[in-house]
Chain A
């Protein structure tokens, strides 16, 4: 039966010692292609692609800015999904995912804001404006920091995880607002260049490294989050028999 096979997999995956064992090799499978792709994207962005016809070399910062902005949204959405799993199914791995992903998502959000400001000064003529896109992205950073702070503030790990799950779900309302802010309202920030539907307004020499970068940084995000989860797991299960035995065995 497909359902029972799924249930078996679900339970095995949910088993913490099993996860700790296999996640080590998963991390490697994420890290190697992630670093290769991201490295290629950065190299191509700095050296291989031609300068933009209007902005010149300034546009090259987009090979960091766009993947960072994408991951700021992707990370928070993933945390909200884990939040639902935490609240409904009480899966410990989902709780740990939220805690591990929050600082990494916050870092990418910060990176997106900073690279955007650095690009904005020579292009727009200003580092920062309070338009809908920039403001909602800043709110996203505060939401990430809120999740981190909430986790730090509550002693009991299970209560903390549930509070973080709730904040992740509440905050996810901001994600479509960020994405559609440039469509719904007038903003200084330009609209999307790369779209799933309809052609993109970027020549393919420039576009492919960008897509490689987005994929590469996503894999790196997964890799770092997985390591964060392993650390969280060890800490939370430090009194359990399997962790103690592992520590004694070296």
Chain B
């Protein structure tokens, strides 16, 4: 390799190194803002600014879904392995909404600590199988909770 080429390669290397460092610093600084939703355990730990509207994500807690009154309002709890937050919502739910399934709610905590949501999105768990396999699996395993960081485990 000639000297000019080696020098150019060094320059390109330095450019990439500098850019990566800048990107890493920026992303670390804005870490909170890069999160699309917060988990129940993070809310319990008090690391989330809860006086404003925010998104909360986790699994729909098993056995927590109830529809009192008109049938449009639904009560359930969003949970990860360590904490759970009661949610109330009225409106249409996405097709994938069901117990034990990932969900993201957008809204605000009220004075009683209930999360009043005005928007619900379903989060897909990135598992794909046929109904037959799902039935066979269900006999063996049961997903009871998802560790915090939904995606890290799946």
Contacts and interface: CB of A to CB of B under 8 A. Distances in A.
Contacts of B121: 124-126, 129, 188
Interface string A23-61: 000000000000000000000000000111111000100
B12 A53 contact: no
Interface string A164-189: 00000110110001000011111110
A249 to B, nearest CB: 37
Contact of A187 (B23, B94, B125, B151): B151
B22 to A, nearest CB: 8
Contact of A169 (B15, B35, B38, B120): B15
Contact of A52 (B5, B38, B57, B130): B130
Interface in B6-64: 8-9, 11-12, 15-16, 19-20, 23, 27, 31, 34-39, 57
Contacts of B23: 173, 177
B12 A201 contact: no
Contact of B128 (A172, A185, A203): A203
Interface string A52-81: 111100010010000000000000000000
B67 interface: no
A187 B123 CA distance: 9
A38 B39 CA distance: 39
A183 B152 contact: yes
16 contacts: A50-B132, A52-B129, A53-B133, A54-B101, A88-B9, A132-B36, A173-B20, A185-B31, A186-B149, A187-B36, A188-B37, A190-B124, A190-B126, A190-B151, A202-B127, A203-B130
Given A55-B124, A125-B122, A201-B127, 11 more contacts: A123-B95, A123-B122, A125-B94, A132-B36, A173-B16, A185-B35, A186-B151, A187-B36, A188-B36, A190-B125, A202-B127
